[in-house]
Chain A
Amino acid sequence: MGHEFVQLSLTPLLIGILAAIACALPGNFLILRRQALIGDAISHVVLPGIVVAFLITGAVSTWPMMLGAAGAAVIAVILIETIKRLGRIEPGAAMGVVFTAMFGAGVLLLEQSDTSNVHLDVEHALYGNLESLIWLSAEGWHSIMDRTALAGLPPELPRMAVVTAIIAALTLLFWRPLKISTFDEGFASAVGIPTGVLSFALVVAAAVAAVAAFDAVGSIIVIAMFICPPAAARLMTNRLETQIWWSVAFATLSATLGYIFAGHGPLWFGGTNAVSAAGMIATVSGAILALACLFAPHRSRTGAPREG
């Protein structure tokens, strides 16, 4: 058990958990600010960024692609704002216009360019390949202390860990201004918090989390983790602090259970092949949210008039 687990399951599991947490943290604020679909939009628009980076460098290398993806995300946010202002269009529609057009452009570029000899296609972008991020050089638990074995770690793991740490640190550092401006933007700007900058920074942080997670696990997990764990957590408590902890717990649970079900679930039903881990993680997070919707203590709307 130990040997095989460390070699085949430990790293994908850790990467999945880290990606889930990195997305769930900013997701809490996005949900409270009614910007939940920013995550959806970002995960679509990173495709053209990645393809353009590939066309420029001619290779599937990580950093240019991350830069391209982040650039595309920023361009998309600016475009959405521009269209909203210039055309006086509601945010949802502006978002829909921008992300579909950019995704379409990404697919078109991808089909036009010769990517047959590299591993870059739309399916990969959508559901990643969590299962392939194995730690081949590991021989068991003791490899964690072994330098040569550690060198063989999939590079996604340290990268994801760094990004998650940064996002967690930023959340802690800007906790007060974030919390105040999320709940009462007018009050926040009255006490001198630059709400516009903060709001943009939140979107950028979400984009960084999305891009890093996207590279490792594909965009489905990104969208699901931005929304499902924080939404479920929102139904569990009235306190933001508690909500964050719940969301981290739900994200971890989704990633763990999803990964296990994807790998072993089919065997229980007599199947022989594993199913998509990314899809399963999203499904589990949805199941958790469904349970929260049905049974969580703070699920119903209070204080507000019922919408008819």
Chain B
Amino acid sequence: MWPAFLDALLLQSGYNAALVAVGAALLGIAAGSGGTFLFLRKRALVSDAVAHATLPGVGLAFIVMVALGGDGRDLLGLLLGSAITAWIGLVLVEWMARRTRLAEDAAIGAVLSVFFGFGIVLLTVIQTMSAGRQAGLESFLLGATAGMLFQDAVVIAVGGALAVATVYLLRRPMTLVAFDPDYAAAYGFNVKRIDLVMMGLVMAVTVIGLKLVGLILVVAMLIIPPVTARFWTDRTDGVIWIAGILGGVSGYVGAALSASAPSIPTGPIIVLVCFGLFTFSILFAPGRGVLAAVIRHQRFQVRVHRRQGLLALAHGEPIFDPLTITVLRRSKLIRRDRVATEAGRAQAAKALRDEKRWEVARRVYHDEAISGRYDGLTPIETVLTPDEIAAIDREIGGPTTVGGAV
């Protein structure tokens, strides 16, 4: 499996596999970067409605093309049909959410299920048509890459490139609308039109993703990469490009995996690679990741225990908390028999003195910016200037030695 996988990664496992891998990577980039705005606008699941609404379009396009005497399986025609019904679905979601008192999620669910149901009805109609027996339109549900033609790959590549270009050109206004539509409107942008472009982008990605990953899973390519990218950066530009890269990598690696093992379907494996990247990010991303949060929490805990331990030493109180003892022992502030060391006594004296300084400071400065900073942990030096501290020191007198013995 490994050599086959490496071959596929290096585009060495045949013409078709290479075509699929490149197409999947392009689709991933377009989906990841385009989906970012949807995610920022908190409307990620609208894409689910759009994706399911493509199915009746595929069916209708097939019927129309056969009725006109054509083949019915022409990809461009099918995609055009799917785009039309996807657009209708999108407009209906907007209309229901705006004109009736139903919430957007209900509108999404209604459009999704009804369009999909109608699409299934059309598929069963097509199955009974004489031309429909071999149509294989079911492949649009979960994607099928086995019989991909060069022209299909070109459609995906051109569509993906156009989508990425649109993202690049319109990233500023779309960011503005995603964060603050009112401000964008006041600034002179046509919010409605930009929203439409955003949705058009989502629709375009969905439609070109149909052949590759299928309409049920293409949603994953729009949602998972932006959510993942959000863990790595706080900047919109960063999210857009990281999401694009993550989507591209998932598409490429997923397609290569599926090329190296014929029993692995392309769509699901791409989604799972994507989810793998997501899992890694939620666990290990710096800042927002779970591991980072755990480390942050532990550091905080250690600081609190160290502080409380030092104050206890200063007051000559016995320490019982095992964690406090461990923390103090580890930084060599107490001995094994829990008696303070030289360094421990010095730091305890400083902690007590700082506590007294804070007491005075909070009495003297009524300013929230200063007294509000008191949490028992913030060093007073970070809040007050040296001469302010000196003034406080004059009030409380010179340093005293503490904690000679327990």
Residues of A near any B CB (own CB < 8 A): 31, 34-37, 39-40, 44, 83, 86-90, 92-97, 100-101, 103-105, 107-108, 111-112, 122-123, 126-127, 220-221, 223-224, 226-228, 231, 234-235, 262, 266, 271-276, 278-283, 285-286, 289, 293, 298-302, 307
Q: What A residues does B42 contact at CB under 8 A?
A: 90, 92-93
Residue of B nearest to A86 (CB): B290
Number of interface residues of B (CB under 8 A): 62
A37 and B113 alpha carbons, distance in the complex (Å): 11
A89 and B101 alpha carbons, distance in the complex (Å): 26
- Check: B230 CB closer than 8 A to any chain A CB: yes
A85 and B101 alpha carbons, distance in the complex (Å): 29
Pair B45/A96 contact, Cβ less than 8 Å: yes
Q: A90-B42, A279-B116 are in contact. List 10 more A-B contacts (CB 8 A).
A: A87-B288, A90-B44, A93-B44, A93-B227, A100-B220, A101-B278, A103-B216, A224-B113, A299-B99, A301-B101
For the complex, would chain A's binding face be called helix, strand, loop or mixed by DSSP majority? helix
Pair B231/A281 contact, Cβ less than 8 Å: no
B210 to chain A, nearest CB (A): 15
Residue of A nearest to B47 (CB): A96
Pair A301/B141 contact, Cβ less than 8 Å: no
Pair B263/A112 contact, Cβ less than 8 Å: yes
Pair A271/B282 contact, Cβ less than 8 Å: no
Q: What A residues does B141 contact at CB under 8 A?
A: 122-123, 126
Pair B106/A36 contact, Cβ less than 8 Å: yes
A39 and B110 alpha carbons, distance in the complex (Å): 11
B93 to chain A, nearest CB (A): 12
Q: What A residues does B113 contact at CB under 8 A?
A: 40, 220, 223-224, 227-228, 282, 285-286
Residue of A nearest to B128 (CB): A273
Q: What B residues does A31 contact at CB under 8 A?
A: 102-103, 106
A213 to chain B, nearest CB (A): 13
Q: What B residues does A40 contact at CB under 8 A?
A: 48, 109, 112-113
Q: What A residues does B128 contact at CB under 8 A?
A: 266, 271-273
Pick the residue among A108, A122, A223 that contacts B272 (CB under 8 A).
A108
Contact sample, A vs B, 19 pairs, CB 8 Å cutoff: A44-B216, A88-B288, A92-B44, A96-B48, A101-B220, A101-B278, A103-B268, A104-B217, A107-B268, A223-B109, A224-B110, A224-B113, A224-B117, A227-B106, A227-B109, A234-B102, A282-B117, A286-B110, A300-B100
A103 and B268 alpha carbons, distance in the complex (Å): 8
- Check: B149 CB closer than 8 A to any chain A CB: no
A280 and B113 alpha carbons, distance in the complex (Å): 11
Question: Given contacts A275-B125, A279-B120, A279-B124, are A235 and B101 in contact (CB under 8 A)?
Answer: yes
B332 to chain A, nearest CB (A): 36
- Check: B43 CB closer than 8 A to any chain A CB: yes
- Check: B123 CB closer than 8 A to any chain A CB: yes
Pick the residue among B45, B117, B269 that contacts A281 (CB under 8 A).
B117
Pair B227/A89 contact, Cβ less than 8 Å: yes
Q: What A residues does B72 contact at CB under 8 A?
A: none
- Check: B121 CB closer than 8 A to any chain A CB: yes
Question: Given contacts A223-B113, A307-B98, are A104 and B272 in contact (CB under 8 A)?
Answer: yes
A34 and B107 alpha carbons, distance in the complex (Å): 11
B283 to chain A, nearest CB (A): 9
Q: What A residues does B119 contact at CB under 8 A?
A: 279
Residue of B nearest to A123 (CB): B138
A154 and B191 alpha carbons, distance in the complex (Å): 55
Question: Given contacts A34-B103, A87-B231, A231-B106, are A280 and B117 in contact (CB under 8 A)?
Answer: yes
A133 and B264 alpha carbons, distance in the complex (Å): 33
Question: Given contacts A93-B227, A97-B227, A282-B113, are A107 and B265 in contact (CB under 8 A)?
Answer: yes
Pick the residue among A88, A126, A289 that contacts B114 (CB under 8 A).
A289
Q: What A residues does B123 contact at CB under 8 A?
A: 276, 279
- Check: B26 CB closer than 8 A to any chain A CB: no
A129 to chain B, nearest CB (A): 12
Pair A100/B109 contact, Cβ less than 8 Å: no
A154 to chain B, nearest CB (A): 21
Q: What A residues does B224 contact at CB under 8 A?
A: 96-97, 100-101
A90 and B227 alpha carbons, distance in the complex (Å): 9
A289 to chain B, nearest CB (A): 6
Pair B110/A96 contact, Cβ less than 8 Å: no
Residue of A nearest to B222 (CB): A96
A130 and B123 alpha carbons, distance in the complex (Å): 16
Pair A293/B100 contact, Cβ less than 8 Å: yes
A35 and B151 alpha carbons, distance in the complex (Å): 42
A177 and B127 alpha carbons, distance in the complex (Å): 49
Q: What B residues does A307 contact at CB under 8 A?
A: 98
A268 and B98 alpha carbons, distance in the complex (Å): 37
